[in-house]
A and B are shown apart, each in its own frame.
Chain A
């Protein structure tokens, strides 16, 4: 596809949780809580007056029905700020500094004064009915191989509560997979019409980074997301699933802007864009064809029960009612593929599904699903439709059927506009699915409970002078400076062990400089940090006690040849269980210190003598098996090289 000719435009919006000690406006920790909640609080939200315009009782009632919420709170992990029962505390300075660091790395201009705003959000994810957010910086940029991209805004805001789906069968509340969680839609209302949320995530600081819509190539989106990710990961942000959320805006000249939520996999981005462009092109094609055919959506909803009286379709025979609508001139188009595996009918169905049906039937795919050709013919005859016309039918309870078909009519009419502005959900295969209409512009006003916060030039300068190294830069430096392999350097950086590595290495090298004994190569230290620690942790050991200070002592023991390399892992495990003693004492108590050369000599002599017949028979060929026996006996208490040397000498004396 020629992206330029299509006028492809994309923008990215990235939300990243910050790893601060406390939340943005209270002192609660920014960690999730595994324990069962202590309290449930039931709340309603009401649209404020300015959002109503005029009295529309039905609309208000409908919106209130959806605004009943159950919040799960903890007595000590959350506080009155999250439950909206106490004014917010002052802005978390750590979070502001961190967001300023990120803004500086993105070449942005800081605002002179930070104003906390209330952004109306009445889906219940914020107990107050608004999210607190503020603009930190604007006008940044990033260079990518496909060109420069403008970073428009960086905002510091509160994360929302976590939605909980009640599983009545297991009777255990399950939080929605974080990656998909943001995706709230009105079908998912729980029993008793309460939507459930948990408060532990509410108020965790987030930065929201938005680019302008100047990204013009599908591959470039991935580059930009990757580059921003690199910047974020060089700072103190949260890691892991659900801590970063990426939304993608896509449009083409003849299409419309669609916001794709919850893109997790960067590699999938180009495919998502291609599929979305494909979908938009197809919708434009369908629109043109409908115009050519002079197509029309008829408003009447027809009662079709008599036709399906003896239907063998399970869905239809189980339903209270079957109803249908006529789409004049739509024949063949509903079955058109808009994306791989998704037809125009799927687009229509995704609107109907929001009203509680599991799907729709349309004549482009019938007879099928137990609906016979006789029934289809009878229906066509009854509705007086021609070969160019399509019928969509829905089977369910009376009111749900009507409401679903109203959505069908609404969506079918939208086909004449081509592409509709929508918020869509990213699917794992690169396709997207309708979630809700694109929200109108944010309604924001000042959060009067929080003082304005001046950003002084000297604090900006301080941040500029203390910028973290970007991960790629750091990796390259580690390779050069410490002579590490690319893989090791990469692991250290990715596992956030690079700083520890540098601290340890500098202490060790100043120690070994002054010692005549030996030196320790950087690869040994790096691989302990990058691999051994991970392995030990995976075995279930708690590494809280294993401080850098203790690791340094371990490496000093190694430098002094008091322990062997092979003993390091065992020693770390022992240290993890013992908070008091120093590593050398532990090594001694646990019998991990290397034996002096004469003891090693004695043990080797003994083994060689025991196996003298083997030595006679195989000469130096006995080296391998004997080495194994010796090492087993020594259990890492001697250095392999020395063992090797002595063993060789012993064998030589025998032959």
Chain B
């Protein structure tokens, strides 16, 4: 129970805990209802009641008296397990959940929303999924995606590897949307995969009837069954609940705080569209790896001492110096325009070079390539061994540098890897189509 201090003493005095029916008497009015939990940041002078009508209200306990009507049962959440037989004619798809619930159960008695992680819950809420495949469902974490760490990328990758070794024909990773594209990029570098790995999530939580989780999940399963054996992100293509886009895991970015179609391919186009759990149109201009053409391979060494720094007018050398002093091995700069930082920062950059720290330049424009030959500052940076990130978005460049530094300490080797296309993250040609779509 999160009631504290005043409210806690008040409730304890009548031996009342969450879920109990109670009556609270105030000067002009009394209420009867069930005691609900109160959010942790709320005032301790109030208790929360759910009335018979279903409405909640907060009651100021000052000058109030309280009596217990009936002890409540602890609400039981979840259902009996389902007997689902595997259909040998269907593909086996694994669903790994890292948080960002793909389905929820609402307990209307208390109003609590419980994430549902088991295969049974998932399939009970979305029985149409059974038409598409057999499932293994695993809840790996239950974290908000802003709390994701590089360590978790590795564990997720290992879990995916296990599933593939156990016969999965495709893997769907349910993920919070905030850092989804970091994870998709990380999995792209860590794994060489013979089967599709599809990362998906929801912009509207799954306790709502309007959630986008279902469409995204259904189409992600469709993508996981397909011939496109890339690490990809599958999310709403538009505001309609009709199609999803399948984006390359290294070329995708969350571009809107709240819209369903927040994920966009940057400096690329979606690999394919999905509708009704099936691949619709495949974009002939985007390369992808065919199912089965890769052997499963894991390169899961990462360098955690890697940082992403955004340049801005007025930025000071101390930001770079701090990272050098703290022993960072690699820095990705999110420079302005073609890939610039103020020329007075060359000192710190040179110092970093001397300390054998890899520095990669990306652009806060997001769209287009960096080019450090056009302006003098760029040339000076190139001279100081700043590595051009090409058309990689800053987040992908960051993830790739973590991974690259995990593969080698040799700075020349690092530069070589960073400039080589490993997982579709670098493209040489810039199409007219690669902008704001």
Q: How close is A203's CB to chain B, nearest CB, in angstroms?
A: 15
Considering the complex, which residues of chain B in the window 78-98 have a beta carbon less than 8 Å from any beta carbon of chain A? Answer: 79, 82
What residues of B have a CB within 8 angstroms of the CB of A52 in the complex? 124-125
Scoring B residues 12 to 31 as 1 if CB is less than 8 Å from chain A, else 0, what string do you get? Answer: 00000000000000001101
What residues of B have a CB within 8 angstroms of the CB of A48 in the complex? 104-106, 125, 206-209
- Which stretch from B2-10, B234-242, B353-361 is at the chain A interface? B234-242
Interface membership of A115, Cβ < 8 A: yes
What residues of B have a CB within 8 angstroms of the CB of A50 in the complex? 105-108
Interface pair A42/B242, CB less than 8 Å apart:
yes
Interface membership of B58, Cβ < 8 A: yes
Considering the complex, which residues of chain A in the window 159-210 have a beta carbon less than 8 Å from any beta carbon of chain B? Answer: none
Interface pair A115/B48, CB less than 8 Å apart:
yes
Scoring A residues 106 to 147 as 1 if CB is less than 8 Å from chain B, else 0, what string do you get? Answer: 000101111101111010000111100111001100000000
What residues of A have a CB within 8 angstroms of the CB of B46 in the complex? 112-113, 454
Interface membership of B332, Cβ < 8 A: no
Interface pair B239/A41, CB less than 8 Å apart:
yes
Q: Which of B28, B31, B208 contacts A130 (CB 8 A)?
A: B208
Q: How close is A570's CB to chain B, nearest CB, in angstroms?
A: 53
Interface pair A444/B239, CB less than 8 Å apart:
no
Interface pair B57/A115, CB less than 8 Å apart:
yes
Of the listed residues B46, B113, B210, B259, the one surrounded by the most CB atoms of chain A closer than 10 A to its CB is B210
Interface pair A86/B258, CB less than 8 Å apart:
yes
What residues of B have a CB within 8 angstroms of the CB of A113 in the complex? 46, 57-60
What residues of B have a CB within 8 angstroms of the CB of A39 in the complex? 239
Q: Which of B55, B208, B242 contacts A134 (CB 8 A)?
A: B55
Interface membership of A290, Cβ < 8 A: no
What residues of B have a CB within 8 angstroms of the CB of A115 in the complex? 48, 55-58
Given known contacts A42-B240, A43-B210, A52-B124, is B258 in contact with A87 (CB within 8 Å)? yes
What residues of B have a CB within 8 angstroms of the CB of A83 in the complex? 239
Interface pair B54/A444, CB less than 8 Å apart:
yes
Interface membership of B437, Cβ < 8 A: no
Scoring A residues 427 to 452 as 1 if CB is less than 8 Å from chain B, else 0, what string do you get? Answer: 00000000000000111111010001
Interface membership of B432, Cβ < 8 A: no
Interface pair B208/A49, CB less than 8 Å apart:
no
Interface pair A42/B56, CB less than 8 Å apart:
no
Q: How far is the CA of A48 from the CA of B46 in the complex (A)?
A: 31
Of the listed residues B105, B125, B242, B260, the one surrounded by the most CB atoms of chain A closer than 10 A to its CB is B125
What residues of A have a CB within 8 angstroms of the CB of B127 in the complex? 55, 57, 60
Interface pair B208/A85, CB less than 8 Å apart:
no
Q: How close is B340's CB to chain A, nearest CB, in angstroms?
A: 34
Interface pair B208/A129, CB less than 8 Å apart:
yes
Scoring A residues 63 to 107 as 1 if CB is less than 8 Å from chain B, else 0, what string do you get? Answer: 000010000000000001001111100000000000000000000
Interface pair B51/A135, CB less than 8 Å apart:
yes
What residues of A have a CB within 8 angstroms of the CB of B111 in the complex? 117, 444-446
Q: How far is the CA of A129 from the CA of B204 in the complex (A)?
A: 11
Q: How far is the CA of A89 from the CA of B193 in the complex (A)?
A: 44
Considering the complex, which residues of chain B in the window 24-63 have a beta carbon less than 8 Å from any beta carbon of chain A? Answer: 28-29, 31, 39, 42-43, 46, 48, 51, 53-60
What residues of B have a CB within 8 angstroms of the CB of A44 in the complex? 215, 241
Q: How many contacting A-B pairs (Cβ < 8 A)? A: 142
Q: Which of A49, A60, A138 contacts B121 (CB 8 A)?
A: A49
Q: Which of B28, B57, B208 contacts A114 (CB 8 A)?
A: B57
Q: Which of B42, B51, B204, B206 contacts A84 (CB 8 A)?
A: B204
Scoring B residues 226 to 249 as 1 if CB is less than 8 Å from chain A, else 0, what string do you get? Answer: 000000000000011110000000
Interface membership of A480, Cβ < 8 A: no
Interface pair B54/A454, CB less than 8 Å apart:
no
Interface pair B58/A109, CB less than 8 Å apart:
no
Interface membership of B103, Cβ < 8 A: yes
What residues of A have a CB within 8 angstroms of the CB of B258 in the complex? 80, 85-87
Interface membership of B148, Cβ < 8 A: no
Interface membership of A249, Cβ < 8 A: no
Interface pair A42/B241, CB less than 8 Å apart:
yes
Interface membership of A45, Cβ < 8 A: yes
Interface membership of A47, Cβ < 8 A: yes
Interface pair B239/A117, CB less than 8 Å apart:
no
Scoring A residues 33 to 61 as 1 if CB is less than 8 Å from chain B, else 0, what string do you get? Answer: 00000010111111111101011010010
Given known contacts A43-B241, A135-B53, A452-B42, is B104 in contact with A49 (CB within 8 Å)? yes
Interface membership of B214, Cβ < 8 A: yes
What residues of B have a CB within 8 angstroms of the CB of A452 in the complex? 39, 42, 58
Interface pair A55/B124, CB less than 8 Å apart:
yes
Main secondary structure of the interface of B (DSSP, over half): loop
Closest to B77 in A: A50
What total of chain B residues lie within 8 Å of the partner, measured CB to CB?
52
Closest to B31 in A: A138
Interface membership of A8, Cβ < 8 A: no
Q: Which of B57, B60, B108, B240 contacts A135 (CB 8 A)?
A: B57
Scoring B residues 62 to 84 as 1 if CB is less than 8 Å from chain A, else 0, what string do you get? Answer: 00000000000000000100100
Q: How far is the CA of A84 from the CA of B240 in the complex (A)?
A: 11
Closest to A108 in B: B29
Interface membership of A153, Cβ < 8 A: yes
Interface membership of B137, Cβ < 8 A: no
Given known contacts A130-B208, A442-B53, A445-B106, is B58 in contact with A85 (CB within 8 Å)? no
Closest to B62 in A: A112
Interface pair B105/A49, CB less than 8 Å apart:
yes
What residues of A have a CB within 8 angstroms of the CB of B210 in the complex? 43, 45, 84, 127-129
What residues of B have a CB within 8 angstroms of the CB of A129 in the complex? 208-210
Interface pair A112/B60, CB less than 8 Å apart:
yes
What residues of B have a CB within 8 angstroms of the CB of A85 in the complex? 203, 239, 258-260
Scoring B residues 96 to 139 as 1 if CB is less than 8 Å from chain A, else 0, what string do you get? Answer: 00000001111110011100100001011101000000000000
What residues of B have a CB within 8 angstroms of the CB of A139 in the complex? 29
Q: How far is the CA of A112 from the CA of B60 in the complex (A)?
A: 6
Q: How close is B36's CB to chain A, nearest CB, in angstroms?
A: 8
Interface membership of A630, Cβ < 8 A: no
Interface membership of B211, Cβ < 8 A: yes
Q: How far is the CA of A445 from the CA of B260 in the complex (A)?
A: 23
Q: How far is the CA of A135 from the CA of B29 in the complex (A)?
A: 15
Given known contacts A80-B258, A129-B209, is B28 in contact with A109 (CB within 8 Å)? yes
Q: How close is A63's CB to chain B, nearest CB, in angstroms?
A: 11
Interface membership of A567, Cβ < 8 A: no
Of the listed residues B39, B121, B211, the one surrounded by the most CB atoms of chain A closer than 10 A to its CB is B211
Interface membership of A155, Cβ < 8 A: yes
Q: Which of A80, A114, A128, A134 contacts B209 (CB 8 A)?
A: A128
Q: How close is B336's CB to chain A, nearest CB, in angstroms?
A: 29
Q: How far is the CA of A598 from the CA of B108 in the complex (A)?
A: 86
Closest to A57 in B: B127
Closest to B108 in A: A443
Q: Which of B39, B116, B214 contacts A46 (CB 8 A)?
A: B214
Interface pair B240/A43, CB less than 8 Å apart:
yes
What residues of B have a CB within 8 angstroms of the CB of A117 in the complex? 54-56, 111
Closest to A119 in B: B54
Of the listed residues B57, B79, B113, the one surrounded by the most CB atoms of chain A closer than 10 A to its CB is B57
Interface pair A138/B29, CB less than 8 Å apart:
yes
Q: How far is the CA of A86 from the CA of B203 in the complex (A)?
A: 9
Q: How close is A629's CB to chain B, nearest CB, in angstroms?
A: 71
What residues of B have a CB within 8 angstroms of the CB of A80 in the complex? 258-259
What residues of A have a CB within 8 angstroms of the CB of B121 in the complex? 49
Scoring B residues 288 to 319 as 1 if CB is less than 8 Å from chain A, else 0, what string do you get? Answer: 00000000000000000000000000000000
Given contacts A48-B209, A129-B209, 10 further A-B contacts (CB under 8 A): A43-B240, A60-B127, A84-B210, A111-B57, A112-B60, A114-B58, A135-B57, A155-B55, A442-B54, A443-B54
12 contacting pairs across A/B (C-beta < 8 A) = A46-B214, A48-B208, A49-B105, A54-B124, A60-B127, A85-B258, A112-B58, A112-B59, A113-B59, A155-B55, A445-B106, A445-B112
Q: Which 5 A-B pairs have the closest CB atoms?
A: A129-B209, A113-B58, A445-B111, A444-B54, A135-B55
Binding site for B on A (CB under 8 A): 39, 41-50, 52, 54-55, 57, 60, 67, 80, 83-87, 109, 111-115, 117-120, 122, 127-130, 133-135, 138-139, 153, 155, 441-446, 448, 452, 454
